[in-house]
Amino acid sequence: MKQTLPTSLALLALLSFAVPPLLLSAQAIPNGQGASVIAPGAVVEKLAGDFSFTEGPASDNKGNVYFTDQPNDRILKWSLDGKLTTFLQPAGRSNGLIFDTKGNLLACADEKNELWSIAPNGKVTVLLKDFKGKLLNGPNDMWLRPNGGLYFTDPYYKRPYWKGRGEPEQPGQYVYYVTPDRKTVTPVATDLKQPNGVIGTPDGKILYVADIGDNKTYAYDIQRDGTLTNKRLFCELGSDGMTIDSAGNVYLTGRGVIVFDKTGKQVEVISVPEPWTANVCFGGAKKDTLFITASKGLYAVKMKTRGVGSQ
């Protein structure tokens, strides 16, 4: 079954944190093209609710999951024992999150269009505040390469909390690569309409980028210096957030969670009872639980596969 995501819905979701009601029920819907990736008997469960708009889940090395409630400017933590706490508030209107190997939480801090590193004690270090002296559009999602290099997407969505900001200062909506020493920033994909979700393979060889503005996801080969080559269409579906599992399946979001195998064939649709599914990550003690940030809720479902990183 071909899934389509109208560009207007994607933009509405990210600009106003609302989309039309979801049409599917809260269950996994295999499409008949292969075995389910969900654990036998598992169902999507709501862990917490009453948020304004959830985003950017990432798990630490123990499996605790951190996520953002962007309109309320906070990062929350869902612990392995099922407790929900606030990790940081205010949080720079953080969106996408990922942990580095030292346990710092890297964040796309959208309030001032920056990249942050947040220490376990909550201390913030600004990693990147502009590109060539001009404001970034709005870092949205990121992926950490095994060698420490960082990829991030920089789409432009005008935010109501921006103060005194005019038109975009960058010439386009690009994907950037930041070297492991954080000293060099390079645009590595400049021909996309509106890049959003991004994820890479654990061996650091392939990068997936969702062009939500064109409703497509592409795969690239990653070169030693971080540049990208051999752009190819992975699937005809855009995405807000993304993750990948130990079998190489790629998880896209929007209207529920849509799972594709490494060849780009759709293998499953996981429905979520919310208007918009923003992002996903694997967490839990064994990294075999898929955590889903969807509109006003945090959801989870047990999987057959495991996550392979922070996201």
What pLDDT shows up at residue 50? 94
What pLDDT shows up at residue 34? 61
Q: What is the pLDDT of residues 242-290, one digit of tens each?
A: 999 999 999 999 999 999 999 999 999 999 999 999 999 999 999 999 9
309 falls within a domain: no
Q: What is the pLDDT of residues 191-212, one digit of tens each?
A: 999 999 999 999 999 999 999 9
311 falls within a domain: no
Residue 26 has pLDDT above 90, yes or no: no
pLDDT average, residue stretch 47-69: 97
148 falls within a domain: yes
1 falls within a domain: no
185 falls within a domain: yes
What pLDDT shows up at residue 19? 36
307 falls within a domain: no
Contact 165, 157 (CB under 8 A): no
What pLDDT shows up at residue 1? 33
Q: What is the DSSP string of 5-32?
A: --HHHHHHHHHHS--SPP-S-SSEEE-S
Residue 123, domain CATH: 2.120.10.30
What pLDDT shows up at residue 309? 86
What pLDDT shows up at residue 284? 97
| Cα dist from 185 to 98, 107, 130, 131, 270, whole Å | 18, 16, 10, 8, 36
pLDDT average, residue stretch 51-57: 97
How are strands ordered across the β-sheet holding 242-244? 28-30, 266-270, 256-260, 250-254, 242-244
310 falls within a domain: no
* Residue of 295, 303, 222 whose CA lies nearest to 259: 303
Supply the pTM of this predicted model: 0.90
Residue 219 has pLDDT above 90, yes or no: yes
Contact 234, 215 (CB under 8 A): no
What is the domain extent for residue 87? Answer: 7-302
Three-state DSSP state, 71? helix
What is the total count of domains within the chain? 1
- Bond before 180 cis per omega within 30 degrees: no
Q: Which of 16-25, 108-117, 242-251 has the lowest mean pLDDT?
A: 16-25
Q: How many CA atoms does the CB half-sphere of 232 hold within 13 Å?
A: 10
